[in-house]
Structure 1
Amino acid sequence: MKDQTKIIAALLVGAAAGAAIGLLLAPESGSELREDIADYVNDLVEKTKDKAKVTADDVKEYSTTLVDKAKTKFNGVLGTLSDYKDEAEGKIDQAKAYAGDAYEEGKSKFKGEADDLNSTVQNA
Structure 2
Amino acid sequence: MKDQTKIIAALLVGAAAGAAIGLLLAPSSGSELREDIADYVNDLAEKSREQAKRTAESVREYGNNVVDQAKSRANSIADTVSTYKNHVIGNVKSAVSDYADQAVEYGGNIVNSAKSGIKNGANSLNNDIQNS
TM-score by length of 2: 0.86
Hey, what's the Cα distance between the residues in 2 that align with 1:66 and 1:46? 30
Equivalent-residue separation in structure 2 for 1:97 and 1:61 (angstroms): 53
Worse-superposed segment, 20-29 or 106-115:
106-115
The structural deviation recorded for 1:113 is 2.7
C-alpha distance in structure 1 between counterparts of 2:83 and 2:48, whole Å: 52
**What is the Cα deviation at residue 117 of structure 1?**
3.6
Deviations 1:5-30 (A, max 9, x none): 11111111111111111111111111
Residue 48 of structure 2 corresponds to which residue in structure 1? Answer: 48
Q: What are the within-5 Å matches in structure 2 for residues 69-80 of structure 1?
A: 69-80=69-80
Please tell me whether Structure 1 or Structure 2 has the larger radius of gyration of its CA atoms: 2
Q: What displacement does 1:74 show? A: 1.4
Instruction: Report the more deviating stretch, 77-86 or 98-107.
Output: 77-86
User: In 2, distance between residues paired with 1:7 and 1:58?
Assistant: 17
In 1, the alpha carbon distance for the partners of 2:104 and 2:18 equals: 97
Deviation at 1:92, TM superposition (A): 1.4
Determine the C-alpha separation between the residues in 2 that align with 1:115 and 1:62. 79
Deviation at 1:121, TM superposition (A): 4.7
Within 2, Cα distance between the matches of 1:5 and 1:71?
29
Match of 1:87 in 2: 87
Compute the RMSD of aligned alpha carbons.
1.5
Identity level (%): 53
Aligned equivalent of 2:129: none
Structure 2 counterpart SS, 1:10: helix
Q: Distance between the aligned counterparts of 1:33 and 1:42, measured in 2?
A: 14
Amino acid at match of 1:5: T
User: How far does the alpha carbon of each residue in 1:57-99 deviate from its partner, in whole angstroms, 9 at most, with x for none?
Assistant: 1111111122112111111111111111211121111111101
Matching residue's letter, 1:25: L
**Letter in structure 2 aligned against 1:99:** Y
Paired position in structure 2 for 1:107: 107
1:115 Cα shift?
Answer: 2.9
Unaligned runs of 5+ in 1: none
Alignment TM-score, normalising by the size of structure 1: 0.91
